[in-house]
């Protein structure tokens, strides 16, 4: 691909999983030498400093739209795109993916390559009465050149629920690891726990219903009643369930062994001293926090079977089901199932952002022939 212009779209600059992947790939694009100009459009106002690491690149610009939320920015986005053309456009949230597909059909978005990434298994989640909106959104798909799913399980779900109409566009590609972890991986990898002393568990993510963080507290209570009397739990992250979880900690009389660290811009150093990472989600695309845990030196992870591809993660133990007891047993097993450092290194290196971008561009180049 010749040097050209790339566009990456974000709903806001509060970096959840999908937003972080988009920002990481924008950084990869700026470093790649493939693009003379990389533009990041944030569809809502407020520069909260979350994208400051991108501002160091002279060939990357960030545009914030002056609205309270992405939905209010639609007409301005159409006007913005109408007078521009791009060689590569990327987004990673279903509603934005659908909108860009529609705009391309209408001739508003002009681009050589339109790439959409699926951030989760939308059809497997319970949206209640809003479920019909999900199917409506996916009816707008189809004008993309490539649709990325994180696992084969995601691809199967997407294809099954769209009648196979998108199958020729779907490609399974792994998530990239953030550059800050690539740069520090060799340093932090040797700093992890040796397994000596009381069991220390770390949970990291948004404290929301889909992540089911209450299971971590109940699993800890079971462990402390069954041979791990000194076990402790660290929550990294914040969210709407914070107060409910704090109340549950008091109810279980675990105040002395559960700590809430809140949101951390770089959770790596907080993860490093822990023995076991814990994933309690119901449904995920692929939990990017696994990559962060491994890169921080946490070589043992216990997880619910919340996503495809987990069987191939070094050092990861799947729980028999999602119950706190099953998670507690998985934590016990994980302590003796630490990942081999050489396998972890290979697993992390295979998710270098630059490598993923080259794969995307290679897929697109192949598709265009």
Task: Decide the pairing of beta strands 170-172 and 300-303.
Answer: unpaired
Domains 4-176+352-368 and 180-349 share a fold: yes
What pLDDT does 162 receive?
A: 95
Count of Cβ atoms closer than 10 Å to residue 239 Cβ: 15
d(CA 350, CA 345): 9
As given in the structure block, the two tokens for residue 280 are 């309690």
Please write the tens of the pLDDT for every residue from 327-353: 999 999 999 999 998 899 899 888 999
Question: CB within 8 A of 25, min separation 6: which ones?
Answer: 8, 90, 176, 353, 356, 357, 360
At 368, the pLDDT band (50, 70, 90 cuts) reads very low
C-alpha to C-alpha distances, 249 to 19, 213, 231, 242, 282, nearest whole angstrom: 31, 11, 14, 11, 21
Ramachandran assignment for 126, one of left (phi > 0), alpha (psi -120 to 50 degrees), beta (any other) = beta
- Does pLDDT of 366 surpass 60? no
Helix (H, G, I), strand (E, B) or coil at 68: coil
d(CA 248, CA 281): 18
For the chain, which residues make up each domain, given as ranges? 4-176+352-368, 180-349
Tell which CATH architecture fits domain 180-349: 3-Layer(aba) Sandwich (3.40)
Question: Is the entire prediction scored with pTM above 0.95?
Answer: no
Please write the tens of the pLDDT for every residue from 226-281: 999 999 999 999 999 999 999 999 999 999 999 999 998 888 889 988 999 999 99
Q: What is the CATH number of domain 4-176+352-368?
A: 3.40.50.2000
At 37, the pLDDT band (50, 70, 90 cuts) reads very high
Mean pLDDT check: name the lowest of 29-33, 126-130, 225-229, 330-334: 126-130
């Amino acid at each position: 691909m010749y040097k050209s212009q790339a566009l990456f779209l974000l709903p806001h600059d509060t970096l959840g999983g999908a937003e972080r992947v988009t920002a990481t790939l924008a950084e990869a694009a700026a470093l790649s030498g493939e693009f003379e100009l990389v533009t990041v459009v944030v569809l809502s106002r407020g520069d909260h400093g979350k994208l400051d690491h991108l501002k160091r690149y002279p060939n990357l610009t960030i545009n914030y739209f002056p609205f309270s939320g992405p939905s209010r920015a639609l007409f301005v986005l159409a006007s913005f795109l109408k007078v521009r053309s791009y060689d590569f456009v990327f987004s990673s949230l279903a509603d934005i993916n659908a909108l860009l597909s529609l705009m391309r059909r209408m001739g508003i978005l002009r681009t050589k390559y339109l790439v959409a990434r699926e951030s989760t298994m939308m059809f497997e989640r319970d949206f209640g009465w809003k479920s019909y909106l999900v199917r409506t959104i996916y009816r707008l798909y189809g004008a993309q050149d490539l649709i990325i799913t994180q696992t084969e399980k995601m691809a199967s779900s997407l294809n099954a629920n769209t009648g196979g109409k998108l199958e020729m566009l779907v490609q399974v590609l792994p998530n990239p690891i953030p550059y800050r972890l690539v740069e520090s991986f060799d340093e932090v990898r040797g700093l992890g726990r040796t397994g000596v002393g009381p069991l220390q568990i770390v949970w990291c993510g948004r404290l929301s219903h889909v992540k089911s963080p209450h299971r971590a507290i109940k699993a800890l209570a079971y462990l402390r009643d069954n041979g791990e009397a000194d076990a402790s739990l660290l929550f990294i992250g914040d969210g709407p369930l914070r107060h409910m979880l704090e109340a549950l900690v008091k109810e279980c009389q675990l105040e002395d062994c559960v700590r809430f660290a809140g949101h951390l811009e770089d959770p790596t150093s907080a993860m490093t001293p822990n023995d076991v990472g814990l994933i309690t989600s119901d449904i995920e695309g692929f939990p990017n926090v696994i990559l962060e845990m491994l890169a921080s030196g946490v070589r043992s992870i216990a997880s619910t079977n919340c996503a495809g591809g987990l069987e191939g993660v070094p050092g990861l133990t799947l729980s028999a089901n999602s119950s706190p007891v099953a998670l507690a047993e998985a934590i016990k097993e994980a302590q003796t199932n630490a990942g081999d450092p050489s396998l972890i290194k290979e697993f992390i290196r295979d998710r270098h952002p630059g490598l993923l971008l080259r794969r995307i561009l290679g897929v697109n180049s192949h598709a265009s022939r």
